[in-house]
Structure 1
Amino acid sequence: MGTKDERRAAREAVAAYHEARLAELVARVAEAVDHHRAGELDAFEVDEVLHQYHRATRKLWTFCEPSGAQAELTARVIRRMADEGEAIDWWERGAARRGG
């Protein structure tokens, strides 16, 4: 476990990542609502978007849970992904799984 300052910096990095990814998910909902208002999606289609948003945000929240050493580990994972140009597709992670 790092120093108090390292733990604080890790929590801040995870919080910033969480907020940025959450904003991307919210934008998906806003887009669906806009399409509904334009008559391009029906209420059921928007409802499915809302369900996918909810599933995705739960998974994102679990990933970003900033507790103790876990925040430092998560911050390292986030840094590694950024360095390697990788990203987790939280929207896809929230997709409904059919069957099985």
Structure 2
Amino acid sequence: MKIYVKVYRVQGEILVAACDEELLGKTFTEGELKLEVKERFYKGELKDPEELARFLEEATIANLTGERCVKKAIELGYIDEKRVLHIQGVPHAQMAKLL
């Protein structure tokens, strides 16, 4: 299974949005939390999860949704697994690099 990766470059920031491909277009809710995996935000290029490393290396901000994306970011040391939010069992994490 692959992941979608989309890169935004805005005012000196590099935002990486990535999600597991099967989550694209779905919405998850749990209590007052709502996670929308919108196509217009996440749908970029389909990549192997291993390729996420090179995108996160240059990212200043990242928005990651799904088992494969979040697991890879944890393995690479970008995300602390204790800080991962789960909504209807779907992991979601955000990262910001302080420069």
Which protein has the bigger strand share?
2
More helix by share: 1
User: What TM bracket, shorter-length normalisation?
Assistant: under 0.3
Relative contact order (alpha carbons < 8 A, sep ≥ 6): 1 or 2 greater? 1
